[in-house]
């Protein structure tokens, strides 16, 4: 049994890479210090905090580890070394992640040393199934590969809109892919899970929005692959991303996990909009994140038919009324108790493929919500620019889009299942992110989520001119990740191993 207090202290510092600097002599420390060892008592109260989370470092020295300590044995082979920040003022131990190194591979250490690296929030190592999942950001990836460095610059909003809407977003998919049956799907690295994807998506959304994370008053995280049956993902997201005003080691934010199969996150768009619109809420911005390491039993086992489509990743949307890039014009939700996909408590994988898959579930609910919303807003498919359906497989979204009267150019930009797989709670959100990546100002987007069990939420969004201004801030958009030359393809066995995780 591990110690929760030790775990809490290590992840509190290590997840965010909290550091401090002496205002007297400039010396920096990787940890929170009340005073400087150089300056002694005169530096009391003169230590400022330094945040390495959005920074980039340099891999100074490295070596190859092929016989790790017990808790790292699932990583088998990896590069370990020392990363420096701020020209060597801070040096930390570091593990290079997102590198699949086979037993016989030779690693050219000198080709890695000197390169820029980015801290990534990951699982730290393996522990027993009943223990708290340890995390850390002393995992790094090379900045000149899949995930480049992006600056997190806080920009004061200038314009208030009448309607609430999206003020920033980010979509995250891992570096690894499996290519099968004509589609590509994202595969998590072995130290990734739903929690790390939720943090990545939220981090990208903050960078895109330019908002100070302290201004976020609420965070919803929707997932169906939370590593815990009981314990929120949202608390980790809030702590790592420092959402809300920070007081001591507590964040002044309301953080909550939501669950409704694949619409767990999409369902909360309207709640976020309502919350930021209610004048007495005191909340100016709310973050909605959907992320999954989509679960599927291995092929040939019950529920194994999902294994051909499941992906990994997520997306995060920040709602507010200032500097909006897409205003929320309306929504419609519908629900019925239709069990087409479920996972009983304690079971490892969901069940699926029964009597209700398809017509009585996905099509009925998506059709209903989309049609009702268009009726309510008095628009036809042809009046809209984009349609974003939930994408459980490559055929369903196309069939419903055509049935509702949408043309290829209206729905194809949203279809990402062929690139990342079904990212469950993140799926419709990644589709929406892909559309926002290419949309022009004053365009209308219809989103129709779907959650098994069953229900659908339809939303109507209208883009604003600020969409284009903010686009420049996000290098790591959906297309960048889909067409990334550093994406690495793995075989089925490796895919299952990586997906099972540490």
Partner 1 sequence: MQNRPAIVAVGRTKFGEHYGKEPEKLIEEAWLAASNECSIERKDLQACYMSDCFLPITNKLGLEEGFLSELTELHVPMEVTRSFSAALLTACHAIQAGVYERVLVGGIEKMTDRWDKIRDDLMLLDDPWSYYAGGTPESNHELMLRAYIKKHHITGENLDKLNMALAEVTVKNHANATKNKYAQYQRKITIEQVLSARKAEHKPLGLYDFAPISDGASALILTSEAVAKKKTDSAIPVLAIGAATDYLNYPAREDLSHFVAAELAMKNASQMSKITPSDLQIIEVYDQSTVMEMIALEDMGFCKPGTAWQSIHGCQNCYDIGGKPLYVNTDGGLKANGNPLGATGGAQIFEIYRQLRSEAGERQVHIGTDAPKHGGVLEFEGFGTKAYVTILGEQKNE
- What residues are annotated to the active site? 224, 262, 390
Query: Binding marks (x or -) toward partner 1, 5..44, rule CB under 8 A?
Result: -----x---x--------------xx--------------
Asked if residue 417 binds partner 1 (CB under 8 A), the reply is no
Asked if residue 68 binds partner 1 (CB under 8 A), the reply is yes
Q: How far is the CB of 68 from partner 1 (least distance, A)?
A: 6
- Token digits of residue 224: 């169906």
Query: Binding marks (x or -) toward partner 1, 203..232, rule CB under 8 A?
Result: ------------------------------
- Applying CB under 8 A, the span of 66-74, 262-270, 321-329, 457-465 interacting with partner 1 comes to 66-74
- Applying CB under 8 A, the span of 54-62, 205-213, 352-360, 422-430 interacting with partner 1 comes to 54-62
- Token digits of residue 356: 């209700």
Q: How far is the CB of 4 from partner 1 (least distance, A)?
A: 16
Straight-line distance from the first to the last Cα atom of the chain, in angstroms, rounded to the nearest whole number: 17
Sequence-distant (≥ 6) Cβ neighbours of residue 37 within 8 angstroms:
27
Closer CB to partner 1, residue 77 or residue 277? 77
Query: Binding marks (x or -) toward partner 1, 94..133, rule CB under 8 A?
Result: xx---------xxx-x---x----------xx--------
Q: What is the residue-wise DSSP string for 120-153?
A: EEEE-S---TTSPPPEEEEEEEETTTTS------
Q: Which of 12, 35, 54, 64 binds partner 1 (CB under 8 A)?
A: 64
SS3 sequence, 271-336?
Answer: HHHHHHHCHHHCCCEEEEEEEEECCCCCCCCCCHHHHHCECEEEEEEEEEEECCCEEEEEEEEEEC
Closer CB to partner 1, residue 81 or residue 188? 81
Q: Are 134 and 15 in contact (CB under 8 A)?
A: no
Closer CB to partner 1, residue 62 or residue 434? 62
Q: What angle do CA 467, 468, 469 make, to 5 degrees?
A: 95
List beta partners, residue 12. none
E-only strand ranges, 367-454: 386-389, 444-448
φ, ψ of residue 93 to 5 degrees: the values are -70, 150
Coarse DSSP helix, strand, coil percentages of the chain, rounded to the nearest 5 percent: 30, 30, 40
Closer CB to partner 1, residue 123 or residue 185? 123
- Applying CB under 8 A, the span of 88-96, 174-182, 355-363, 457-465 interacting with partner 1 comes to 88-96
Q: How far is the CB of 491 from partner 1 (least distance, A)?
A: 23
Closer CB to partner 1, residue 113 or residue 245? 113
Q: What angle do CA 399, 266, 394 make, to 5 degrees?
A: 25
Asked if residue 70 binds partner 1 (CB under 8 A), the reply is yes
Asked if residue 72 binds partner 1 (CB under 8 A), the reply is yes
Sequence-distant (≥ 6) Cβ neighbours of residue 166 within 8 angstroms:
317, 318, 319, 324, 325, 326, 328, 436, 461
Residues lying near partner 1 in the complex (CB under 8 A) are found at 10, 14, 29-30, 60-72, 75, 78, 80-82, 90-95, 105-107, 109, 113, 124-125, 134, 136, 138-139
């Amino acid at each position: 049994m591990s110690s929760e207090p030790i775990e809490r202290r290590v992840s509190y510092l290590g997840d965010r890479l909290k550091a401090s600097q002496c205002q007297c002599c400039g010396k920096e420390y990787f940890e929170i210090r009340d005073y400087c060892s150089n300056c002694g008592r005169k530096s009391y109260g003169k230590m400022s905090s330094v945040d390495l989370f959005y920074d980039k470092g340099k891999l100074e020295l490295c070596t190859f580890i092929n016989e790790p300590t017990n808790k790292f044995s699932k990583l088998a082979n990896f590069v370990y070394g020392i990363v420096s920040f701020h020209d060597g003022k801070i040096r930390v131990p570091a593990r290079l992640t997102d590198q699949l190194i086979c037993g016989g591979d030779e690693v050219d250490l000198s080709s890695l040393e000197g390169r820029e690296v980015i801290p990534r929030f990951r699982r730290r190592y393996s522990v027993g199934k009943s223990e708290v999942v340890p995390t850390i950001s002393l995992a790094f990836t090379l900045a000149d590969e899949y995930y480049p460095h992006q600056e997190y610059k806080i920009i004061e909003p200038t314009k208030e809109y009448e309607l609430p809407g999206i003020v920033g977003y980010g979509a995250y998919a891992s570096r690894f892919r499996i290519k099968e049956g004509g589609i590509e799907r994202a595969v998590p690295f072995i130290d990734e899970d739903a929690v790390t994807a939720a943090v990545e998506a939220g981090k990208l959304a903050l960078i895109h929005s330019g908002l100070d994370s302290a201004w976020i008053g609420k965070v919803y995280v929707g997932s169906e692959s939370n590593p815990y049956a009981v314990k929120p993902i949202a608390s980790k997201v809030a702590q790592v991303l420092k959402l809300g005003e920070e007081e001591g080691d507590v964040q002044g934010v309301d953080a909550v996990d939501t669950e409704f199969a694949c619409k767990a996150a999409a369902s909360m768009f309207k709640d976020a909009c309502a919350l930021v619109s209610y004048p007495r809420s005191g909340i100016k911005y709310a973050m909605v994140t959907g992320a999954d390491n989509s679960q599927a039993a291995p092929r040939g086992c019950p529920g194994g038919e999902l294994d051909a489509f499941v992906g990994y990743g997520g997306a995060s949307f920040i709602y507010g009324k200032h500097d909006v890039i897409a205003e929320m014009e309306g929504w419609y939700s519908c629900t019925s108790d239709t069990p087409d996909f479920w996972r009983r408590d304690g079971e490892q994988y969901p069940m699926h493929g029964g009597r209700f898959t398809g017509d009585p579930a996905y099509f009925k609910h998506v059709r209903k919500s989309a049609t009702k919303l268009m009726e309510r807003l008095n628009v036809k498919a042809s009046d809209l620019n984009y349609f974003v359906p939930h994408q459980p497989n490559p055929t369903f979204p196309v069939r419903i889009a055509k049935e509702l009267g949408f043309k290829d150019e209206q729905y194809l930009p949203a279809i990402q299942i062929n690139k990342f797989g079904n990212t469950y709670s993140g799926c419709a959100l990644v589709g929406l992110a892909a559309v926002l990546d290419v949309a022009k100002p004053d365009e209308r987007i219809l989103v129709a989520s779907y959650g098994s069990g069953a229900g659908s939420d339809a939303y109507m969004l209208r883009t604003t001119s600020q969409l284009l201004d903010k686009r420049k801030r996000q290098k790591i958009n959906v297309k960048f990740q889909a067409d990334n030359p550093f994406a690495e393809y793995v075989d089925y066995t490796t895919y299952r191993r990586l997906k099972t995780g540490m």
